[in-house]
Amino acid sequence: MEDPQFVKSEVKIPSKTPGWDLDAWKFLPMTASGSSSRPLPVISADISDRAHGISANKRMGLSLFAERFASLGYAVVVFDYRRWGTSAGTPRHIVFVSEQLDDYRTVVKYVRQQAEFDPQKVVLWGTSFSGGHVTALSSEKNLNLTAVIAQCPFLGLGSGSSRLTKALLKTVLAGIHDILRQTFGMTPRYMPAVAQPGQVGLLTAPGSVEGMNLILPAEEGVYPNEVSASSLFELPFYNPRASGARITCPVLLVAAEQDNLCPLGFFHELKGLSPKVQLVSFPLGHFELYNEKGSMEAMVSFLEEHVPLDGSAPKSD
């Protein structure tokens, strides 16, 4: 087995909520060990969204991406949102889009305050639901991002999501029940994040359970497969492509052409809104994209073009 070309450590990042730290992993390339090394470009990433952005954590495969980027010479900071994974926050496993966007902003501020990172070369990376987050954040001028990479990002609900079925009605009622429970100080009502079609759950598209099983780690207990039922109501009003015309930095969208969760048409729509958006796609389903080597190679090429490691300025668009 080859020696790793990076050093991994754990860090705690204070979140916007006092007392709630974000648990993070920091990956530094071995070349950063010398005191004369220049500050490194840094990639901030979250994966609390392997199930449509809502129910996973950084232990579910994100290391593979972080290790590759760090081996190339980039620094990487991987974190869990508040209430998820090993980060603090209660009640657990509740989705608040505003909180998750703030957690990304918090990590961006944190990495800019660390002497080992180059504050002028900050990249955001996300996949599925967090892919939507980084896409939305790419339009925030005050973040001054260098680049953004979004793999099979959630860019809004497709038209098929609103079809009324008995299962959907039961799911909505579970969400209302959860709101009532939490309003009166009770524990949340949870439901599966991933379930079979026709069952109560947040993600019930055909193939979702099987796809999730393909990418789950062998270690038991990593994936709880639960989310507060009221998290359902965060989705219909979230449209990360709405601010696409105001994107401020190069953005790479990596799409799965057979994705039944994140419609390909939304990717083309976003690309049409901004000349800064690049799109690559593969003839795969949503979950298959995670193990596609071509996806990783596209990301690496994008980084080499827009976030060079030789000390030169990023390419202007």
Q: pLDDT tens digits, residue range 241-272?
A: 999 999 999 999 999 999 999 999 999 999 99
Residue 214: predicted pLDDT: 79
Q: For residue 116, what is the enclosing H or E element?
A: none
- Say yes or no to pLDDT of 107 above 80: yes
Alpha helices in 6-96 (DSSP H): 62-72
Q: For residue 244, what is the enclosing H or E element?
A: none
Q: pLDDT tens digits, residue range 161-210?
A: 667 899 999 999 999 999 999 999 999 999 999 999 999 999 999 999 99
Residue 216: predicted pLDDT: 75
Higher-scoring residue by pLDDT: 314, 227: 227
Q: How many CB atoms lie within 10 A of CB 271?
A: 18
Residue 1: predicted pLDDT: 41
Mean predicted confidence (pLDDT) in 137-149: 98
Q: How far is the CA of 215 from the CAs of 60, 70, 206, 212, 259, in angstroms?
A: 8, 22, 16, 5, 16
Longest Cα–Cα distance of the chain, Å, equals 63
Q: How far apart are CA 257 and CA 265, in angstroms?
A: 9
Q: Give the torsion sign (CA, 15, 85, 293, 71).
A: positive
Q: pLDDT tens digits, residue range 49-58?
A: 433 345 555 5
Report residue 64's pLDDT band, with 50, 70 and 90 as the boundaries: confident
Q: Which of 44, 45, 66, 41 has the alpha carbon at shortest distance from 121?
A: 41
Residue 52: predicted pLDDT: 35
- Say yes or no to pLDDT of 230 above 60: yes
Mean predicted confidence (pLDDT) in 71-76: 95
Mean predicted confidence (pLDDT) in 33-43: 73
Q: How far apart are CA 312 and CA 84, in angstroms?
A: 37
Residue 63: predicted pLDDT: 80
Q: Which two tokens stand for residue 34?
A: 């010398």
Residue 29: predicted pLDDT: 94
Q: Which two tokens stand for residue 173?
A: 């009622």
> ∠ CA 159-189-45 to the nearest 5 degrees?
60
Among the residue ranges 37-46, 96-105, 245-254, 288-297, the one predicted with the least confidence is 37-46
Give me the percent of the chain exceeding a pLDDT of 70: 87
Residue 244: predicted pLDDT: 98
Q: pLDDT tens digits, residue range 271-291?
A: 999 999 999 999 999 999 988
Q: How far is the CA of 267 from the CAs of 12, 82, 248, 257, in angstroms?
A: 34, 28, 17, 10
Q: Which residues lie closer than 8 Å to 90 by C-beta, 6 or more apart?
A: 83
Mean predicted confidence (pLDDT) in 32-57: 63
Q: How far apart are CA 42 and CA 36, in angstroms?
A: 18
Among the residue ranges 105-114, 160-169, 296-305, the one predicted with the least confidence is 160-169
Residue 273: predicted pLDDT: 98
Report residue 46's pLDDT band, with 50, 70 and 90 as the boundaries: confident
Report residue 158's pLDDT band, with 50, 70 and 90 as the boundaries: confident
What domains can you pick out in the chain, each with its CATH number?
6-158+239-306 (3.40.50.1820)
Residue 261: predicted pLDDT: 92
Angle, helix 129-137 to helix 97-112, in steps of 10 degrees? 60
With a threshold of 0.75, does the pTM exceed it?
Answer: yes
Residue 81: predicted pLDDT: 94
In one-letter notation, the amino acid at residue 83 is R
For residues 21 and 87, the answer to whether their CB atoms sit within 8 Å is yes
Token look-up 């299962």 returns 167
Report residue 133's pLDDT band, with 50, 70 and 90 as the boundaries: very high
Residue 285: predicted pLDDT: 95
Q: How far apart are CA 86 and CA 25, in angstroms?
A: 11
Residue 35: predicted pLDDT: 43
Q: How many CB atoms lie within 10 A of CB 202?
A: 27
